[in-house]
A and B are shown apart, each in its own frame.
Chain A
Amino acid sequence: MCGIVGLHLKEAALHRRLGELLTPMLLAMSERGPDSAGIAIYGDRALDGSLKWSLRASAGEIPWDDVGARLGRELDTIVQMRRVADAAVVTLDGDPKLVMKTLTEWFPDVTVVSFGHSVEVFKDVGRPAEICKRYGIAERTGFQGLGHTRMATESAVTTEHSHPFAAGADLCLVHNGSFSNYASVRRRLSDAGITFQTDNDSEVAARFLAYEIEHGADLGEALESLMNRLDGFYTLLVATESQFAVVRDSFACKPAVIAETDEYVAMASEYHALATLPGIDKAQVVEPMPREIHLWSR
């Protein structure tokens, strides 16, 4: 079991309340996932084509000032660094491949959690309430957010194995369920040069979507390919900088509820996670049908 939540704000006046609205949604899903939790916040776009990198330590203490200095030197650019508990968000203008290469060479204990123009991802092992507090999620602003509470079934309980999985620029996925043929899909992606951080089944789905999008598919087409290629049980919530999508497997084994008003689209595993949202009594609440792609663009 796992819990997933997402909030896509259509009304700009609500952007300053994103974290405040998303946090109780995630906490309502604590029983579905007490092991670990993660949140993706889509907020202010980095200036002038710069990218934001959410980084964390996979082991030990990281000398974050050295990381910033080294990235600045190797990429010959200005680096902004914001520390958030034991994680850091680095903003810089430079080739993502070179950023990755620099981090791998100089700071092998630094893990890239996400990168993109708008997205920041925070995840950790522990109770969802503690994790939200640690990373100050309730105070965050933004136009869109995803959250996941994890009860591990397929792989280990570590921060690396927790969701959201951010596989491409601004692409995040949260998953409730389990894929059965992910090993063979991962082999095919590995053959195509894709690298994986974990042995987790959901990471395969995220990298599959990123691969499809990189090869010209839009998010809807990529999800269609995923349904044809990956077998198993899933409710997926996927977001990019401009889109927000929900899909369930052909048996609809895992729950999902979507509520929509003029102000927002909200999604959760269970309705009570949506019950705290403003105007929920007037919202149109639907349960997505099997294999139906529900997609919103901004």
Chain B
Amino acid sequence: MVTLNCDELSTREVNSLLHRLPVGSAVTITNPRGRHNLAVGLSNALEVTIDGNAGYFIGGLCSGPKITVNGFVGWSVGENLMSGSVRVNGNASESAGASARGGEIYVSGDASSRAGISLKGGTLVVAGDVGHMSGFMAQAGVMLIGGDARDALGDSLYEAVIYVAGAIDSLGSDAIVEDLEDSDVHLVKELISRSGFDHISPEDVTRVASARRLYNFEALSGVAY
């Protein structure tokens, strides 16, 4: 087990040491004290534990590692994640999982505004609530929210699907609630099993998807201008 102490190492040193470790290594990063950009851009499948509260872009741009944060994180955790996972045992600030193309991001507490913004194929599971404009312009992938969603959920959604266990303050433009099918229940069950957020009842979630009314211009819309 490798330990990297942020009190002794710069962020660049921490990341550079991580990049050089062989696949399968287990690493603990200590004393993060809100440090940004920890464990970013890793393409080696490490097991990284960040012990404490961390800053922005934790685990961003990674392909392969399994990252766990024992604390809260700042903006854009798992931003542009390609594969692997980032698990936050705490709350996440804004834009959790922004533009993630693959991989899985789990937040055991709440996530703030714009969670899953521009999601491009990744999976974002939040045990608690999410802030306003979550799922904004999400193109592909899936979000599961164990608590409530604030205003304008799924605004301008493309093909991503959002499941919400709690209440939705309001849906964003072009987002609609659709019937839950068996395939949805299976998917949600699988996400619950992977995340361990078993307070969610898979048959009782709400499915939010795109109404696809913004995909094309309507010829008659012209008269509005």
Contacts and interface: CB of A to CB of B under 8 A. Distances in A.
A is bound by B: yes
A226 B35 CA distance: 33
B53 A255 contact: no
B147 interface: no
B158 interface: no
A275 B132 contact: no
Given A252-B131, A255-B75, A255-B93, A274 B34 contact: yes
A51 B123 CA distance: 58
Interface string B60-89: 000000000000101100000000000000
A270 B113 CA distance: 16
A177 B33 CA distance: 25
B154 interface: no
B132 A270 contact: no
Given A252-B132, A287-B93, A272 B72 contact: no
B55 A290 contact: no
Contacts of B156: none
A7 B207 CA distance: 43
Contacts of A270: 34, 36, 55-56, 74
Interface string B8-40: 000000000000000000000000011110000
Nearest to A252: B113
A285 B131 contact: no
A245 to B, nearest CB: 20
Given A271-B74, A287-B112, A290-B132, A255 B55 contact: no
B104 interface: no
A251 B36 CA distance: 23
A268 to B, nearest CB: 9
Nearest to A276: B33
Interface in B84-140: 91, 93-94, 112-113, 131-133
Contacts of A271: 34, 53, 55, 72, 74
Nearest to B33: A275
B58 to A, nearest CB: 12
Of A271, A272, A289, most B-chain CB atoms within 10 Å: A271
Interface residues of B, number: 18
Contacts of A257: 93
Contacts of B75: 255
A231 B132 CA distance: 18
Contacts of A290: 113, 131-132
B182 to A, nearest CB: 37
Contact of B34 (A251, A252, A275): A275
A276 B131 CA distance: 28
Contact of A272 (B36, B113, B133): B36
A270 B133 CA distance: 21
B94 A255 contact: yes
Contact of B53 (A273, A275, A287): A275
Given A271-B55, A272-B34, A274-B34, A285 B94 contact: no
Nearest to B150: A289
Contacts of B34: 270-275
B30 to A, nearest CB: 13
Contacts of A272: 33-36, 55
A235 B132 CA distance: 17
Complex A-B, nearest 10 residue pairs according to Cβ-Cβ distance, in ascending order: A272-B34, A275-B33, A271-B34, A275-B34, A252-B113, A287-B112, A287-B93, A272-B55, A272-B33, A271-B74
14 contacts: A251-B113, A251-B133, A252-B94, A252-B112, A255-B74, A270-B36, A270-B74, A271-B74, A272-B33, A272-B34, A273-B34, A275-B33, A276-B33, A287-B94
Interface of B: 33-36, 53, 55-56, 72, 74-75, 91, 93-94, 112-113, 131-133
Given A252-B94, A252-B132, 16 more contacts: A251-B113, A255-B74, A257-B93, A270-B36, A270-B55, A271-B55, A272-B34, A272-B35, A275-B34, A275-B53, A285-B53, A285-B72, A287-B94, A287-B112, A290-B131, A290-B132
